Structure 1
Amino acid sequence: MKKLILSIALVGFGSLAMAQQAPTPEQREAKRAEMQQKMQQREKDHLDKMQKDLNLSKDQVAKVQALHDKKRAERKAEFDKNKDMRMAKMKEMKDKRAQMDNEMKSILNPEQYKKWEADRNAKMEQRKMAMKDRKKGDRPHHKPMKPAVEPTK
């Protein structure tokens, strides 16, 4: 019985370790290129739908496309401008976390610290999974709204 439980645990941990492997730079680059292609296709479909729904001329389509390109460039410039601030904020958060870790290490005994750290990591993993689910759209973000006024019968 012990061997069975041990073998199941080893298989579980092995599969968990395999699932945590980080993608290679080539895989990341391929995924990025795929996402860009999807975004371009989505934008093209949106523009085609606008052209059809609003009965736009070729000139109007070109102007709308130019406006979209201009707004995309502005968003990218804003993103790049704020990059340093985001990096500084991340460093500050990491420093605070390291300080808390050191303080907890001084308060707890080694066994308690290990348990506390394992619990914290488990909660962090749950939050990551919840964020992934939210990005995928697997669960609704909110409940449907109730009408402000009940219809009269």
Structure 2
Amino acid sequence: MKKIFLTLALGIATITFAQQSGMEKPGKMDPEQRKAEMQKRQQEHLDKMSKDLNLSSEQVKKVKALQDKQISEMQANMEKNKEARKAKMTEMQKKREAHDAEMKKILTPEQYQKWDADRKAKMEKRKEMMKDRAGKDGFGKRKMMNKPAEAPVAP
């Protein structure tokens, strides 16, 4: 009986600790926390590489410089893409407003009001579906990509 109780308690404790993650959701961190977390991960990765590959101090410096260069290029690309995304969003918003104006001309006020309410309800439903799809950790599809591949079943 003691063994069963101990096993059950250990199992519950394991599940409880597995549920707690050391890192907050990326969207919930402030920029300083996010930057510190990224630097910490970069350093951990560099230390692991250094240990696994038995890198010299000169090689570690070169790898770190290469990582820093890659990060700065990624950030520059993100900024460039940010402007393009804003422009595209503005264009889409103008098209939506033009479409709404055309619909307003075609439909009666009551029909337009009903159509608009239906559209907004569908939008809310879509938002909820996207939240559910992303999962509780906020990572979306990336969460699924990190799963280990299943072993093929022998016929």
TM-score range, shorter chain: 0.5 to 0.7
Question: How many residue pairs end up in the alignment?
Answer: 123
Report deviation, 1:98. 0.5
Taking the aligned partners of 2:103 and 2:42, their CA distance within structure 1 comes to 50
| Cα displacement string for residues 40-98 of structure 1 (whole angstroms, at most 9, x for unaligned residues) | 22222222222222222222221111101111112222333344433322221111010
Larger deviation, residues 57-66 vs 84-93: 84-93
Structure 1, 108-117 or 90-99: larger mean CA deviation: 108-117
Q: Does 1:103 align with 2:106?
A: no
| Structure 2 counterpart of 1:151 | 154
TM-score normalized by the length of structure 1: 0.61
- In the superposition, the TM-score normalised over structure 2's length comes to 0.60
SS in 2 for 1:85: helix
Identity over aligned residues, as a percent? 49
Counterparts of 1:23-62 in structure 2, within 5 Å, are: 31-62=30-61
In structure 2, the partner of 1:118 is 117
> Structure 2 stretches of 5 or more lacking a match?
1-26
Partner of 1:86: 85
* RMSD, matched Cα: 3.3
User: Which residue in 2 is equivalent to 1:19?
Assistant: none
Q: Distance in 2 between matches of 1:61 and 1:130?
A: 45
Any idea what SS the aligned residue of 2:119 has?
A: helix
Of structures 1 and 2, the one with the larger relative CO (CA 8 A, separation 6+) is 2
Q: Which runs of 4+ in 1 moved over 6 A?
A: 144-147
